[in-house]
């Protein structure tokens, strides 16, 4: 038992549909035996990456703000859930900025070849993407998925799984769809179980 699963909420609505799905998934991970933490990204106080490139030579970012305590949390997690609505056909700005600020991990991994995530952790870190969209288009998640996959790669998380829910403008209230709530819980529990297996 053990293992830490972090959930990043990209929606600014703490009681919204994405938040409800993330809570279900985190409950699943907890029921699989993981410690969980939810981070509501839009309320964090930090700036976008300013391309200072301090991280080219250092393990940290020179900008000191509410990203600072997140770096060790991202380095040490065992499972990650990114839960986000599609906005303007991609990832909402604040969550995207969090991902961009993880250039600290990119520089260490690809430029200095000294990944910040310890080797024994690297093979076992799994990431789940929960996406919801207002529209019901086959391509609506294409942009967001590419961004999430790149982010997972940079922070050494395997793109383990996804739950993509289209047509929220028609569904409106996710609580009217117990099948989707159950799907989120199940995905979270499976992610938690995969984290447990990786730690063994
Ligand atoms: C600023 C903004 C931009 C959006 N852009 C898109 C979009 O490009 N494509 C889409 O399918 N839905 C779009 N949506 C709809 C949201 O993805 C949808 O309403 C979602 O259910 C919101 O989730 P939440 O209530 O948990 O935040 C947008 C919503 C907002 C607020």
The predicted model scores a pTM of 0.98
* Residue 50, token pair as written in the block: 């300013």
Give the pairing of strands 79-85 and 4-9: parallel
Pocket test for ligand 1, best of 87, 139, 140 (most atoms within 8 A of CB): 87
192 is in which domain, residue-wise? Answer: 4-199
CB 96 within 8 A of CB 102: no
Q: Do 38 and 80 form a contact (C-beta atoms < 8 A)?
A: no
Alpha carbon nearest to ligand 1 atom 6, residue: 87
**Which pLDDT score is estimated for 6?**
98
Per-residue pLDDT of the chain (200 residues; tens, 9 = 90+): 689 999 999 999 999 999 999 999 999 999 999 999 999 999 999 999 999 999 999 999 999 999 999 999 999 999 999 999 999 999 999 999 999 999 999 999 999 999 999 998 888 899 999 999 999 999 999 999 999 999 999 999 999 999 999 999 999 999 999 999 999 999 999 999 999 998 88
pLDDT at 27: 98
Number of domains in the chain: 1
Contacts of 91 (CB under 8 A, 6+ apart): 10, 84, 99, 143, 144, 147, 148
Residue nearest to atom 4 of ligand 1 (CA): 87
Rounded distance from Cα 84 to ligand 1 centre (Å): 9
Residue whose CA is closest, atom 30 of ligand 1? Answer: 87
In the block, tokens 């972090």 appear at: 6
Q: Which two tokens stand for residue 89?
A: 């056909």
Question: Can you give the pLDDT at residue 2?
Answer: 82
Q: What is the CATH number of the domain that holds 135?
A: 3.40.50.360
d(CA 115, CA 101): 16
Pocket of ligand 1 (CB under 6 A): 11, 13, 16-18, 85-89, 132-135, 140, 168
Question: How many angstroms is it from 131 CA to the middle of ligand 1?
Answer: 10
Q: From ligand 1's centre to the CA of 167, what distance in Å?
A: 10
Q: How far apart are CA 145 and CA 150, in angstroms?
A: 8
| Separation between Cα atoms, residue 133 and residue 48, nearest integer Å | 24
Closest by CA to 106, choosing from 63, 157, 155, 71, is 155
Q: Which atom of ligand 1 is nearest to the CA of 166?
A: 11
Is 5 within 8 Å of 162 (Cβ atoms)? no
Q: What are phi and psi of 146, to 5 degrees?
A: -60, -40
């Amino acid at each position: 038992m053990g293992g830490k699963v972090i959930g990043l909420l990209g929606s600014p609505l703490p009681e919204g549909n994405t938040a409800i799905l993330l809570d279900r998934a985190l409950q699943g991970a907890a029921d699989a035996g993981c410690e969980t933490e939810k981070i509501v990204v839009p309320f964090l106080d930090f700036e976008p990456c300013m391309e200072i490139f301090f991280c080219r030579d250092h393990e940290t970012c020179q900008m000191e703000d509410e990203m600072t305590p997140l770096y060790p949390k991202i380095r040490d997690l065992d499972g990650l859930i990114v839960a986000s609505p599609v906005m303007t056909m991609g990832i909402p700005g604040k969550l995207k900025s969090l991902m961009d600020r993880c250039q600290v991990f990119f520089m260490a991994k690809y430029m200095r070849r000294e990944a910040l995530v310890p080797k024994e952790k690297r093979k076992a870190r799994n990431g789940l993407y929960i996406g919801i969209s207002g529209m019901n288009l086959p391509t609506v998640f294409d942009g967001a998925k590419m961004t999430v996959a790149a982010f997972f790669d940079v922070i050494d998380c395997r793109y383990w799984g996804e739950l993509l829910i289209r047509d929220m403008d028609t569904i409106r209230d996710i609580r009217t769809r117990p099948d989707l709530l159950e799907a989120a819980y199940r995905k979270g529990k499976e992610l938690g179980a995969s984290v447990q297996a990786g730690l063994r």
